[in-house]
Each structure stands twice: as structure tokens, then as C-alpha cells.
Structure 1
């Protein structure tokens, strides 16, 4: 790909993810990072777990929803942030159904919980609690309700799949922590100046 075309593509993605609300911008970035990584998940599965990667193709069903988060955010930040959580929890349930409970894919509910606590401040805390409850409910959903997995892996393959999912979810949590907006330094300095005893 020519350098100029790559720069234009990168700028277009950055513009699509941009938003004046820091929480909305965080959600947009996370959604697009997930979109960019989803095509590689079958390759990770093939390399780290097994040549049988057919269950991984179902993860692409959630790709349009993650990709639509910035567009939804422009209509309503509440809608966009909610869509990200719904796509994340829904994708986790879908993967749990296709891979089975032994896959450890439920670990992806952890970044969903982190996002729920970060994206809904103030009067929206009730929305955060609702999504947290939805994530816990998804974890506690009996495996029998989701049916049989598409493929039964060997015990050592399930162990490798658990490691892969843990590393992926942990990387996502680390990214979220890295992207959390830092406090405004000017506000911090102003607070220090306004403290009693300072002139």
C-alpha cells in the first residue's frame, strides 16, 4: 500500500473515531481496535490452539456492531456507548456458545465491566449498573442454555484457548486503562492554587 494511501486511510479512521467527549472518544477507539483485531483471531487460534478454526468465523457477526459505534455516537453518546457494551457482551455470549464453556471466553466480560464503570458517569450510573448486571448475568447463564459447542477441542487445546483468551482480554483491559483521559493538568494546578493558605 502506498504511503500516501496509508496516511489517508489512517487519517480517515482517526477522524471517524474522534469525538469531543473524552468518554465517547475512548469508546470509539476501543470499538475500532476490536474491529481491527477480529480478522486476526482465527489466525491466532490456528497458530496457538488448533487447525480447527471454524467456530472463530462466528465472531465476525459482531464486527458491524463494533464498527457502527462511532456512527451511533454521533447521533447520541448514550446510544454509542451502550452499543459498544451490547456488542461486547453479545459477542462474548456468542463465542461461549460456539466454543463451549471450557474455552474461557467469559474473560472478555471483564473489559465489558471495566467499560461499564468508566463510560457512564453521574446520572448515568444506573446505566452502568444495568450493564454490569447484564455482564454478570451472561457469566452465570447455564451452559446448557447455549447448546453444544460447534467443535470439541482436546483438553490441551482448551488450555491453550484459555491462555489465548486471557491474553487477549488482559491486553484489552490494559488498552482501556491506557486510553482513560488523564486529569486536566490546568485544573490540577488551579486546585492547588485555590487551597487555603496559598496566596
Structure 2
């Protein structure tokens, strides 16, 4: 791909993620980052855990939901932000069913909780707390409800799996925090609006 072609692709992705609402734009960015990273997850497992990576292909089932977040955001920012959190929770549930609780994949519920709290305004707190409650309930659900994992890894492989998932979830949470920190810095950097003097 030529440099101009790559620039065009990047521009179209940026346009797709753009939104006049700051929270919606942040949610769109997170959704597209997660979707773009999902194809690499099996490779991370191959490098860090085991050569048995076929169970990770199940995580691709959630990719369309992450990709659809910006499109839904244009129809309803509340529904778009809700979709992002639910897609994260659903993907975590799916991966826990496939890999088993011993993989530590439930740690991805923590960035879901962070998103649930950060993405909604004060007037939308009922939605935020409801989504956070769903994430907490999912984390606390008995592991037996998911049945047997698709593949049973070894003891050391599960230890490596937990390290990989912890680092991945921590990186995602740090990215979310950085995006919000930058957003607040940009907002504070804008000059305060002053009232025009009254005409006499």
C-alpha cells in the first residue's frame, strides 16, 4: 500500500470514529482499538502461552459488535456507549466459557467497569451503575456455569495465560485512563468564554 493510500485509510478510520460528543468519540476510539487488536490475540497466546490457539478464534464473534459502535453512536450516543460496555462484557463471558476461569480472562471485566463509570454523564448514572453491576455480577458468577473449557491447558500454560490477560487488561485500562486524561487536558486548555459587555 502506498503512503497516500495508507493516509487515506487512516483518515477514513478517523472520520468513522469522530463524533461531536467527547464521550462518544472516546468510546468509538476504544471500540476500534479493541476490534483492531482482536486478530492479534491468538498470536499473543501462541507466543506467550501455547501453540493451541484455535479456541481464541471464538473471540472474533464479538468483533462486529465493536466495529458497529461508531455507527450506532451516530444514531444514539447512549446506545452506542452501552453497546461498547456490553460488547466487552459479552466478549469476556465468551472467552471465559472457551478458555475456562483458570485463564484469568475475567480480568477484562475491569476495563468494562471503568468504561461503564466514565462514559456516562451524571444524568445517566442509572445506566452506568447498571452496567457496572452486570460486570461485577459476571465476575462473581460461579465458574461452573460455563461448563468445561474448549481446551484444557497445562498448569504453567494457565499461569502464562493469566499473566498475558492481566497485562492486556491493564494496558487497555491504562489506555482508557490516558484518553480521558487527555480529553480533560484539552478541555482545560480551551480559553474560557467571556460574556460580551452589555450594550447601553
Q: Is this a same-fold pair by TM over 0.5?
A: yes
Corresponding residue number in structure 2 for 1:75: 75
In structure 2, relative to structure 1, the CA distance for the partners of 1:5 and 1:186 (3 Å cut) is closer
Corresponding residue number in structure 2 for 1:46: 46
TM-score by length of 2: 0.92
1:185 aligned onto 2:188: yes
Corresponding residue number in structure 1 for 2:21: 21
Corresponding residue number in structure 2 for 1:172: 172
Corresponding residue number in structure 1 for 2:8: 8
Corresponding residue number in structure 2 for 1:142: 142
Equivalent residues in 2 for 1:48-197 (5 A)? 48-180=48-180, 181-183=183-185, 184-185=187-188, 190=192
Cα distance in 2 for partners of 1:32, 1:95 equals: 19
Q: RMSD of the alignment, in Å? A: 1.5
Cα distance in 1 for partners of 2:83, 2:33 equals: 15
Instruction: Could you list the structure 1 runs, at least 4 aligned residues long, displaced by more than 4 angstroms after superposition.
Output: none
TM-score by length of 1: 0.93
Deviation at 1:135, TM superposition (A): 0.2
Q: Deviations over 1:63-119 (max 9, x none)?
A: 000000000000000010000011000000000000000000011000001001101
For structure 1, the residue ranges without an aligned partner over 5 or more in a row are 194-199
| Alignment size in residue pairs | 191
Cα distance in 2 for partners of 1:185, 1:108 equals: 31
Deviation at 1:147, TM superposition (A): 0.9
